[in-house]
Structure 1
Amino acid sequence: MGNDEAPGSEGSVETGTEKAGEGTKAVGGGKGRDTGRAVEVDALVEAVRAGSFQEVPVLLEPLDAAGRKAALGRLKALRTEMRGWAGTREREAALVRRGLYVAGAGCHPGVAGAATWLGGRDLPAWRSQDAGLVLRVVAGRSAEWQAELAGRLAARPAVAERSYGLIRRLVERSGCAVPASDGYVRGWAREVTPGGRWVHRADEAPPLVQRLRVDPQTPFLVVHALSMPEPAEQLTWSVEADSPRHWPTAVATLVGEGVVDRTEVVDAALSRLLRGGRLHDLRFPLEVLRLLGPTAAEFGERVPDLIGIAADAPSPVAGYAQEALAALALEGRLPTSALAEMTSAVFFRTEKKLVQAQLVLVGKVLVREPGAADVLLPAVAEVFGHEDTALQERALKLVGRHLSAVDASVRRELADRAGQSGPVHGQAVADLFGTAPVARSRQPYEEILPPVTGPRRVEPPATSVEALVEELLAKGVSDDPVRFERAFDGLVRHAHRDREGVARAVREAFATVEWEQPHHFTHHSHGLHAVLAGLLGIAEPAWIAARLARGGATPDCLHQGLTEITDTRLWEAAALVGTDALPFLLAAPTLDGGGIAPRVLVERLRALRDAGVEPAPADLAQALLRVLRDDPEAGEAAVEAADLGTGAGRRLAAWLRADEPMAASVRFLRRDGDRSLTRWSIRDRLVVDLADRTVLREEFPAAFRWLGGTLEATPRRCPHWVTGMEHWAAVLPADREVLAACVLPSVARTLDSSRESTEPLAPLAEAEGRVGRAVALALALGLGAGDADDRLRAVDALLVLAARGDLDARGVGEELGWLVAEGTVKPNRLADAARTAADAGAYATVWAVLAAALPATLVPEKPVRGLGEVLAVAADCVERCGADGVPSGLSALVARGGSTRLVTQAKRLLNALHQGTGQTTP
């Protein structure tokens, strides 16, 4: 990290942050000097063009301010030229970039310009490799100039990380303060950590602690690293504590040696935990604190921070803060008011382990300090409303043991809040507070479901070219099917009326350089950019034809087939946009779910007939898939379509009259029939059968034929990135069961590590068409998803289907039953999703699903582990909505006896079912 300076005169270039032109005057004058300067500039630029970047410092040295200014203009031109080499001269361009990087730094007189140049995204990715050369060309600048350059580079996160070596040496040379920058710390962490991630031998590099010990910047950067929202990856590597690359151990060692200030480290770590975030990002400060082991005095000074962490941090971090506060409380160092505040915060959380530990702590404190009951027991009352009835029972018992120590007002408050506990504790509450149990059996029950709203009509497309371009430029237009289709139709309509005007507006608004790069559109259409490229002539007709032909191949998987349909529409439009062959889109939806009213489609076909235009094949095919065959006017529309006298009209009439033009079914390969399947996931065993439909295979374009049964029904492991998911539902808005079958493989991904694969469930719930096993399976898999947000989307879809009267609750429950029984869906995930739906007010709906799911999980001699949580939700639902009929296996489980959570909740459910509440369900 030492200096690498070349001899240079302070007066040869501008110093400090002065403006260009305020440096020293060039020596000499006249044409001779101008000619010499031109030769020197030529030599510099040619060296850069030739890739001789190492010669740049020597060639820059004789240039005066005017020469450097002239060179800078030519370097900028070369840089612009080089951007067009992408994909053709990459090896040459890499060397030219390094020369531009160094030469531009030396030619910029102002520090702002130099920083902008050195931070350019098109220059070398890892800039520190040429730090020595840059230091040579800026050696004549003042210390203030170099310090400001270091600060400007460090302030840009990505640049700071990649330019760490250069910034570090500028800091050391100028003597400025160490940059307080996350990017700089990332670069430092990467540089100082010994070896790579997969190096395991301790003797292959000097240990981390030794490197940190000799680095004078360590005291400042360690504290900053602890405070970062997203720490450098080296700080969170999963290595053993005795590894020479384990950061928490190294930091704790340096704190013990006095190299790093202990108070600053403790404050920074606790402050970072208090700000919260992902557990991965909190691992470094948490481990540092565990190794440091703050004393009771140190924790006592930071009680508010610990309470905040216990309230809001991820569970393991909150548990650490809870342990620290509990130790203070048991030593008598935590004020009662602080313990009450902590208790209320912890009881607001859902984690049973934390709540139970807090109940134990409060109980111990009350045994030692009975006078604290007035303050602590109202906090304990928070547990009366907890979802776990076992915790409610423990809280009631705790209150009961210390109720005599509270005054009358607190007793009344506790009695009022005890009503939040479940019906199962009604008698216990009455016995404790001397009141009569609430006769819940006489209370009518009303199911609460989302309001059913009819489909909304899509607004007409933009009325002017300016409004259209603004729509095309809007953020997220390609991610919203409604906005996407509206902009798509508007682009086609305006281009048909004024192709040149639209093309001119697009050229002014869009940076089209990327579209001209080789392979830019090879694998992706990039949404409406494909159509714009066709409009501007960037995508040549022959290439578009080849791309459309490629779309005719049988897809590898269902999701690829759905995405290919959308892409085929785009490329077809790219070939026809701005011509008389495509005046508007037949397939533009009239409703926000993607559907088209039958009579609207008839009118569109009539307009094409009157204009003498044949429908574009993919556009017509998509329009047929979107037309709502269940619409009340579908019969009359079929007659009108047939009367058009055109082939397209006859196809529409036949499609509207068909009972089921598309169909799909799903099944699974059995594990017990093939030993090779025992380790397969549910996605590997899923088989989707698309029914054989001649009309789809013979009359539709190639990209659509797989929907007619050409895709072989075998388990398919999708090898692609899942793209275009937001548009899948709009491809098949009138055939809900077929759509569900097509998205099932993607929804099944959520059982593993994939996220956001349940996004199609919301539009699936609002689609038209029949509901069968595919829809039930999609909901069941979504309710068992690994990610909480994915489960929430499945819950929303379940409730929407229930509100519309389309939910097959028994079917969903039966699918959940075998999925839970075989271990594919984890009971805790199902319990979380079911409780979320129940808490929304849909207790009867949730019970209908769980009642069908439980028999498959209770039949085995050894019931599914973790099923107690599901039974707790089921019991809560029955206690609130009333039900009869005992699921198979429940009575036998209760008869076995025991005190486990499973048996306790089974008894509670059985008791609720036997009570016969007689509640009504409007």
Structure 2
Amino acid sequence: MIGDGVPAGLAAVACSADGLIRGDGGSVSEYEELLDAVVRWAGRDRAGLAGALRPVADRWSGVHRPRAPAARRLLAVVRAAVRPVDPEFRAGEAGGRGWLETCQHEAVRLVIDERVAEVCGWLRGGVAAPMLLATPSRAGGAVDPRDLVMRLTEYEQAGARPGPADLGQALLRCGGGPAEADVLRAAAELALPEGPRVTAWLRQGGLPRPEWTVEQEPGPPQPPSRRRGARVGRRILVGTGALPGRGDFPRTFWPLFRPFEPLIGCRHLLLGHRERHAAAALPWHPEVVAARVLAEVAATADQDGEGGAEFLPALAAGDGPPGPAVHLALAYGLGARPDADREAAVAALAALAARGRLDGALLGGALARLVLLGTLRLPTVVESLRAAAGAAGGADAVWPVLAAALPGLLGAARAGTPPRPHPPLLALAADCARACGARGAVAGVAELAGRPGSSQTVREARRLRDVLAGG
């Protein structure tokens, strides 16, 4: 219970903090709005903020802690707000300087954690900031350049300096092309020392997109093993090239700018990096985020990985263009073992299709390749695709995926390579083709349909052939 006499605004902040920490940290908007509200109230009424949040911190004073990474970060902020202000406190002691890059997959998490550590340092040291610069302007995490310049203007008027991590995150959330001319003029008029850097960043349109490579694990495919890391040659991953400009960002941001080599393994792939807030850290670069956590997403399909089901829909909500890493993540999700992860993949597929960003050929090719490697089970994939096709307009989205996957799968079956033709796959393809009015030929279908006999496989192949012929 929030104590009597607490101002309504502070009571709302405490109530929000309690709910988000008890849960999974909330949506991107809820999480970010709470961080911003705590920073704003700390500048107005630090003692009142501490009093309002103390009951929330007290609930977690024992050995128990929130399970979700985002909730744990919010709890750290609440605890920092409750502790007494120490003017001698140095922000680096909050954890922002004690980082250790244990593997290259952690780059996005380091960015998220550094910003929270910076906020905790402000609260402990009594630093007053007008607001957080990186609070998203849109649900997917993007910051509008106009909003960023307006916030920096308020910083200037308040005589405050931006936090390096908060400003760095704000810049990473700006993108999509050069800012409008009036925004650039306003940025150039900023008297803050950071003004020229912000202006140059907005003029270039944000972080450039890196080059990428699609790589398969070396070695002949081997059956999955219960021993962690024993799988060989069964995953397809994506690497990214180096990005320029890291020297202007905090050192904890630097791993994000380094080349990412996906075939360099580590022992830290299941540390909860796959969360919606990872996708929101670089909303204009879903490929960079997806590539870094692709092995963790793959673990939901070929190992016992679970959790982070919100990641794929968040990735699909980003403003940047999806590429091979996003579509591979979607493919692994459609073949995942946990129900929640498959449902998340279906939702992400629908979201990408609704925005005209789903590349059916890319996804279908990835699915076929992963099935042929034995990484994904075809019945599981078909079940997920059928669920996606059942939504409004789903057949239009799923048919291009099936049309791209069928030639490879049927061709392998002709060559005697597993899997055998799967009747439910052909049935789903026929249903989707009829629902969306597809016409034309798909390699391998006519040959299969022309076989003698009346097996279910042949019957469904004939039905698909006839639908595509306009019958």
Does residue 364 of structure 2 align to residue 816 of structure 1? no
2:208 and 2:18 map into 1 onto residues whose CA distance is 38
- Map 1:362-761 onto structure 2 (within 5 A): 464-474=9-19, 475-476=22-23, 478-511=25-58, 514=61, 526-537=72-83, 541=89, 545=93, 547-551=95-99, 553-558=100-105, 560-577=106-123, 579-630=126-177, 634-658=180-204, 660-663=207-210, 665-669=212-216, 671=218, 674-675=219-220, 681=231, 685-695=235-245, 697-709=246-258, 711-719=260-268, 721-723=270-272, 725-752=275-302, 753-761=304-312
Determine the structure 2 residue equivalent to 1:361.
Answer: none
Q: Which residue of 1 aligns with 2:396?
A: 844
| Higher-Rg member (1/2) | 1
Structure 2 match to 1:832: 383
Alpha carbons of structure 1 residues 772 and 463: separation in structure 2 relative to 1, 3 Å: farther
Rate the CA distance shift 1:898–1:701 in 2: closer, same or farther, 3 A.
farther
Distance 1:744 1:903, change over 3 A: same
- Report deviation, 1:765: 1.5
**CA gap 1:911/1:524 in 2 versus in 1, 3 angstroms:** closer
AA at the equivalent of 1:763: A
For residues 107-506 of structure 1, what are the structure 2 equivalents within 5 Å?
A: 464-474=9-19, 475-476=22-23, 478-506=25-53
**Contact 2:286/2:322 (8 A) holds in 1:** yes
Letter in structure 1 aligned against 2:464:
L
**Does the residue aligned with 1:510 lie in a helix, a strand or coil?**
helix
1:872 alignment counterpart: 427
Aligned CA distance change for structure 1 residues 508 and 857 (closer, same or farther; 3 Å)? closer
> Are the counterparts in 2 of residues 751 and 785 from structure 1 also a CA contact under 8 Å?
yes
Amino acid of the residue matched to residue 878 of structure 1?
A: A
d(CA) in 2 for partners of 1:693, 1:881: 42
* Letter aligned with residue 549 of structure 1: R
User: 1 or 2 for the larger relative contact order (CA 8 Å, sep ≥6)?
Assistant: 2
* Partner residue, 2:324: 773
Q: Secondary structure at the match of 2:184?
A: helix
Is the 1:569–1:618 Cα contact (8 Å) retained in structure 2?
A: yes
Amino acid at match of 1:869: P
Distance, in Å, in 2 between the alignment partners of 1:682 and 1:757 is 24
CA positional deviation for 1:653: 2.5
Aligned-partner residue type, residue 692 of structure 1: A
Find the aligned partners of 2:233 and 2:209 in 1 and give their Cα distance: 23
**2:336 aligned partner:** 785
Report the alpha carbon displacement of residue 600 of structure 1 after superposing the two structures with TM: 0.7
Distance 1:706 1:531 in 2: 24
TM superposition shift of 1:796: 1.7
User: Which position in structure 1 is the counterpart of 2:352?
Assistant: 801
Map of 1:81-100 to 2, 5 A cutoff? Answer: none
Deviation at 1:908, TM superposition (A): 1.8
Any unmatched runs of 5+ in structure 1?
Answer: 1-461, 918-922
| Distance (whole Å) between structure 2 residues aligned to residue 808 and residue 682 of structure 1 | 28
TM-score by length of 1: 0.45
Instruction: Provide the secondary structure at the position in 1 that maps to 2:96.
Output: helix
1:856-914 deviation line (CA, Å, top 9, x unaligned): 11113226235221111001122333222222222232334344332222222112222
Report the residue type matching 2:396 in the other structure: A
CA distance in 2, matches of 1:702, 1:794: 34
| 1:857 has 2:409 as partner | yes
- TM-score, structure 2 length as denominator? 0.84
Does the Cα contact within 8 Å between 2:395 and 2:432 map onto a contact in 1?
yes
Cα displacement string for residues 420-475 of structure 1 (whole angstroms, at most 9, x for unaligned residues): xxxxxxxxxxxxxxxxxxxxxxxxxxxxxxxxxxxxxxxxxx97222222222224
**Aligned pair in 2 of structure 1 residues 816, 685: CA closer, same or farther (>3 Å)?**
closer
Secondary structure of the 2:252 match is helix
> CA separation in 1, counterparts of 2:358 and 2:56?
47
CA distance in 2, matches of 1:685, 1:538: 50
1:529, distance to aligned residue in structure 2 (A): 2.4
**Cα separation, partners in 2 of 1:772 and 1:706, compared to 1, 3 Å:** same
Q: Deviations over 1:164-197 (max 9, x none)?
A: xxxxxxxxxxxxxxxxxxxxxxxxxxxxxxxxxx
Aligned-partner residue type, residue 902 of structure 1: T
Instruction: Report the CA distance between 1:804 and its aligned residue.
Output: 1.0
8 Å CA contact retained: 1:857, 1:864: yes
Note the C-alpha offset of 1:797: 1.4
Amino acid at match of 1:798: L
Task: Say if 1:629 and 1:734, in contact at 8 Å, map to a contact too.
Answer: yes
Offset at 1:490? 0.7
- Identify if the C-alpha distance between structure 1 residues 561 and 576 changes in structure 2 by more than 3 Å, giving closer, same or farther: same
Per-residue deviation, 1:754:
2.5
1:890 aligns with 2:445: yes
Residue 216 of structure 1 corresponds to which residue in structure 2? none
8 Å Cα contact 2:276-2:315 kept in structure 1: no
**CA 1:758/1:897 → structure 2, altered by over 3 Å: closer, same or farther?**
farther
- Taking the aligned partners of 1:635 and 1:654, their CA distance within structure 2 comes to 12
Deviation string 1:230-276 (CA, Å, 9 cap, x unpaired) is xxxxxxxxxxxxxxxxxxxxxxxxxxxxxxxxxxxxxxxxxxxxxxx
Question: Would you say how many aligned residue pairs link Structure 1 and Structure 2?
Answer: 445
Query: Distance between the aligned counterparts of 2:70 and 2:267, measured in 1?
Result: 17
- What secondary structure is seen at the aligned counterpart in 2 of 1:667? strand
Coordinate RMSD, CA, aligned: 3.1
Alpha-carbon offset, residue 661 of structure 1: 2.3
1:366-390 Cα distance to aligned partner (Å, 9 max, x none): xxxxxxxxxxxxxxxxxxxxxxxxx
Deviation at 1:675, TM superposition (A): 4.9
Q: Is the 8 A contact 2:241 2:260 kept in 1?
A: no
Q: CA deviation at 1:492?
A: 0.8
State how far apart, in whole Å, the 2-side matches of 1:555 and 1:624 are. Answer: 25
Name the CA shift for 1:524/1:831 in 2 (closer, same or farther; >3 Å): closer
SS at 2:239's partner residue?
A: strand
